């Protein structure tokens, strides 16, 4: 069936660098900082067109790929070189990802190469994770949890002066927490950027990175999403901590978020509409008096986003746990991350990673508690 699928369609073609373009890395399984060509007729069997400088490394590092040096010649444009690459590999027509460069597509059309946008098949393949991919996410998640535990230990050991936490003789800030987390990952072969360590009221903006002093009794939203530098797979995790006693308002918000996450977990099974999972989160929060998105409008205070998203070579990919038509399928790796936001106190978010295994069973990959207070 897979052979027929590929033979019945034009091959997949892409031209991009693979450090930031997840589609290119998925097709080639080769990391290169400069754009290169990949042509795939069958899943996992690609022809790579790379610069002569990269050809030797590509042959060593790209499993099962045929490597062809692309030799630019004076007076020959990139489109002429790529058209020759395609024709020499029997491709007058090809499918390309939706983000394929428009200008290059037009130039290739001028060379007689017919391209069509591949709107689903590559996206669907990337969504359906293999056991090897699931294990890669899980390994990243284990390091992510160690980072979160290190952060909690750091917070627990900080002296407090006039309500402000101190670390190494200076006030502890969101910026210093973020640096601590990102260095933690670098020392273990992972990388992280735009880590969220959002103290106080500013945490009411879900994607605020965080800055300024960390204060006793105020919530701190942590959202950390590292990528393994070798496998390229992400993990994702959010927790909210309060150093000292939390206010009654914050404790109630945190309890409501935990209950909403549990309501989502209770529905996770193969074939469940993910809009139903999101609906259960909204219902749990509404019952406790918090606002939820309705009719495309966000509440002033309450839940300000969907319940979760797919996870893999990109931090956000299919499926979406929100109001979409997606249903839970084997191979899905995704997050469940309800949150509540109130500009009077800050934010509360808890995020865990789950997977629908190839046999249809659902497993929560995260192994970290959901405690709020650090006493």
> 203 in helix, strand or coil?
helix
- pLDDT band per the 50, 70, 90 thresholds, residue 6: very low
Q: How confident is the model at residue 4 (pLDDT cuts 50, 70, 90)?
A: very low
CB 276 within 8 A of CB 269: no
Residue ranges of domains in the chain, CATH in brackets: 2-126 (3.40.350.10), 128-374 (3.90.230.10)
**322-347 average pLDDT score:** 97
Both tokens assigned to 2: 């897979």
DSSP one-letter code for 298: -
CA angle at residue 319 from 314 to 320, to 5 degrees? 100
Q: Is residue 219 over pLDDT 70?
A: yes
Mean pLDDT for 12-38 is 96
Percent of the chain with pLDDT over 70: 98
Residue 5, pLDDT > 70, answer no
Tens of pLDDT, residues 174-191: 999 999 999 999 999 999
Q: Is the pLDDT score of 8 beyond 90?
A: no
Give residue-wise pLDDT tens across range 54-87.
Answer: 999 999 999 889 999 998 777 789 999 999 999 9
Torsion over CA: 321, 325, 330, 332 (sign): negative
pLDDT reported for residue 119: 82
pLDDT band at 17 (very low <50, low <70, confident <90, very high): very high
Cis bond upstream, residue 319 (ω within 30): yes
Contact 289, 259 (CB under 8 A): no
**For the chain, what is the mean pLDDT?**
95
Nearest residue to 350 via CA among 334, 320, 370 = 370
Q: What is the mean pLDDT of residues 144-148?
A: 98
Q: What percent of the chain has pLDDT over 90?
A: 92
Residue with the bigger pLDDT between 200 and 76: it is 200
Say yes or no to pLDDT of 3 above 50.
Answer: no
Indicate if the pLDDT at residue 7 is higher than 60.
no
Q: Can you give the pTM of this predicted structure?
A: 0.93
Contact 172, 200 (CB under 8 A): no
Going by pLDDT thresholds of 50, 70 and 90, the confidence category of residue 1 is very low
H-helix segments, the chain: 2-7, 22-28, 52-61, 78-88, 102-110, 121-127, 131-156, 174-186, 248-267, 274-287
Using the 8-state DSSP alphabet, how is residue 10 labeled? Answer: P
Q: Measured between alpha carbons, how far is 365 from 371 in angstroms, rounded to an integer?
A: 18
pLDDT of 53 higher than 50: yes
Grouping H, G, I as helix, E, B as strand and the rest as coil, residue 262 is helix
| H or E stretch at 317 | strand 317-321
Sequence-separated (6 or more) residues with CB below 8 Å from residue 260: 280, 281, 284, 285, 338
For residue 21, give both structure tokens.
């373009």
How many residues are present in the chain? 375
Which DSSP symbol is given to 106?
H
> Residue 311 has which token pair?
């996870």
pLDDT tens string 227-245: 999 999 999 999 999 999 9
Q: Which long-range contacts (CB under 8 A, 24 or more apart) does 169-173 make?
A: 171/213, 171/214, 172/213, 172/214, 173/199, 173/211, 173/212, 173/213, 173/214
> Which residue is listed with tokens 């428009």?
102
- pLDDT tens-place string over residues 250-262: 999 999 999 999 9
């Amino acid at each position: 069936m897979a052979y027929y699928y590929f033979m019945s369609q034009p091959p997949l073609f892409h031209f991009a660098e693979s450090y930031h373009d997840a589609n290119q890395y998925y097709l080639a399984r080769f990391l290169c900082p400069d754009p290169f060509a990949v042509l795939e007729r069958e899943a996992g069997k690609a022809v790579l067109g790379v610069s002569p400088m990269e050809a030797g490394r590509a042959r060593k590092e790209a499993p099962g790929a045929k490597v062809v040096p692309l030799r630019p010649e004076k007076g020959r444009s990139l489109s002429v070189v790529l058209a020759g690459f395609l024709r020499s590999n029997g491709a007058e027509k090809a499918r390309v990802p939706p983000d394929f460069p428009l200008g290059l597509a037009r130039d290739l059309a001028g060379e007689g190469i017919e391209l069509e946008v591949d709107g689903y098949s590559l996206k669907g393949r990337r969504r359906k994770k293999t056991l090897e991919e699931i294990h890669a996410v899980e390994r990243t998640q284990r390091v992510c949890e160690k980072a979160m535990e290190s952060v909690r230990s750091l917070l627990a050991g900080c002296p407090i002066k006039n309500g402000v936490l101190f670390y190494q003789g200076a006030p502890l800030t969101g910026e210093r927490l973020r640096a601590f987390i990102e260095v933690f990952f670098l020392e273990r072969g992972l990388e992280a950027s735009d880590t969220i360590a959002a103290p106080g009221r500013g945490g009411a903006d879900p994607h605020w990175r965080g800055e300024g002093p960390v204060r006793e009794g105020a919530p701190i939203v942590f959202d950390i999403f590292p990528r393994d530098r070798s496998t390229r797979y992400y993990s994702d995790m959010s927790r909210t901590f309060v150093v000292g006693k939390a206010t009654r308002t914050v404790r109630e918000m945190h309890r409501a978020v935990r209950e909403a996450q549990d309501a989502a977990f209770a529905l996770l099974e193969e074939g469940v509409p993910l809009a139903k999972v999101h609906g259960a989160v909204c219902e749990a929060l509404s019952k406790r008096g918090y606002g939820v998105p309705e009719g495309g409008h966000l509440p002033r205070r309450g839940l300000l986003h969907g319940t979760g998203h797919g996870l893999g070579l990109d931090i956000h990919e299919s499926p979406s746990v929100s109001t979409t038509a997606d249903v839970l399928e084997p191979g899905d790796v995704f997050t469940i991350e309800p949150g509540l936001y109130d500009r009077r106190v800050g934010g509360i978010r808890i995020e865990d990673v789950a997977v629908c295994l190839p046999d249809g069973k659902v497993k929560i990959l995260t192994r970290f508690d959901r405690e709020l207070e650090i006493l």
